[in-house]
Amino acid sequence: MSLALLDTTHTDDKTGVGALISEAVIGPRDGAGKTVVVAMSGGVDSAVTALVMRERGYRVVGMNLRLFSPADPVHAVNPCCGIPAMDDARATCATIGVPFYAINMEAEFGEAVVERFVDEYAAGRTPNPCLECNRHVKFRHLVHRARLLGADCLATGHYARIVPGDDALGEPHRLFRAVDGRKDQSYVLHTMNQDQLGFVRFPLGNLTKPQVRALARHFDLPVADKEESQEICFVGKGSYAAFVAARRPEVNRPGEVVAEDGAVLGVHRGLVHHTVGQRRGIGIAGPEPLYVLALDQAANRLTVGPRARATARAVGADGVAMTGGMRPSGAFDCDAVVRYRGAPTPATVSLGSPGSGEASVAFHGEGPIASPGQAIVFYRGDEVLGGGTIRAVERAPAS
């Protein structure tokens, strides 16, 4: 296959690739005279992102972020963070004929993502490291570096859609779910502000994963059939509990497992192995499944109970921001999501005083199983309205 881009006017394109890189799918060919930095992870999504942005006419600069160096010399724990990933990103850039740069951002990643992850789990909360990486590394530090290079925009391989607004008319940029619901990543992108939404491009938002693979194969990209990494990038194939315990040994202290009335049911092997809402792995048999209701760090005690007590009636959140940049004048109804690709739950959101970043969220009917530390994201249809971090969970009263 020639490395020249496909002529989309060719009517004998039996692969359907021509339709996949039409303006209706990938966006307008508006890149003439413009430069885009593409975040290159070494995977197929970022590879096709670079290809698509080149098709749109941009001068593409591929940039691989070295975020975390695995301790094993051959980077087998999780190769997405090591030298193999960087080599794959470089090979993709060579294939499509664009420059490639590797940037060391381990310090930024370590402070904003790894240390926070460890601290939050050690405190009994459930963090989302991908969300923090997007918030602090990709869409803060990387956007800054792209602008220093004189780039007109930054493109990433995230599955989400941005509908640009008109600054002159006061129309906000808006964030939506991706067309491919199985790959949608809007949940971990809800912290993006208006400046970032105006600068960032998500060219895969209208494509499905199989279509992305088809484009990669059609253009002979070296990562077309590369397996996806499903693990937390810096944890790899090990357990998050072992990762945290290696840095906070005290989290592995055994302690009591108790019912809500204080009755001792058994022994846990360390609170770090449990999260609020967890059902499997508690190690206590009973007439009905038990769920983790609370982690008491001071007493090193795990409280468990039935599902009816595990679901949330309401949550309190902080760090709340509205993606559109406008604060609603009063309470508003939405669909709330409390975990990555979790089911939407109808809810009413009441924001705290201006500038506080606080909100209370009351669920309609049975709420989700929610844990402090998780993100709660507000949707209206496919549009992301905003979100924050759960700090307190109100459960239904015990019967």
- Residues with catalytic annotation? 133, 233
Cα 205 to Cα 160: distance, rounded to the nearest angstrom: 5
The single-letter DSSP state of residue 335 is E
Pairing of strands 383-395, 312-322: antiparallel
Cα 368 to Cα 339: distance, rounded to the nearest angstrom: 9
Q: Which residues pair with 378 in a beta bridge?
A: 336, 386
CB burial class (10 A; 0-12, 13-18, 19+) of residue 67? buried
State the amino acid at position 71 in one-letter form. A
Q: How far is CA 114 from the centre of its chain?
A: 15
Cα 81 to Cα 65: distance, rounded to the nearest angstrom: 9
Token pair 């939050």 in the structure block, residue: 120
The tokens describing 123, both together, are: 């405190």
The CA distances from residue 195 to 12, 165, 325, in Å, are 42, 11, 10
Say if CB 162 and CB 198 are below 8 A apart: no
Cα 137 to Cα 65: distance, rounded to the nearest angstrom: 9
The single-letter DSSP state of residue 81 is G
DSSP string, 233-267: TTTTTS-HHHHHHHH-GGGG--EEEE-TT--EEEE
Pairing of strands 332-337, 375-380: antiparallel
The single-letter DSSP state of residue 272 is G
Say if CB 85 and CB 122 are below 8 A apart: no
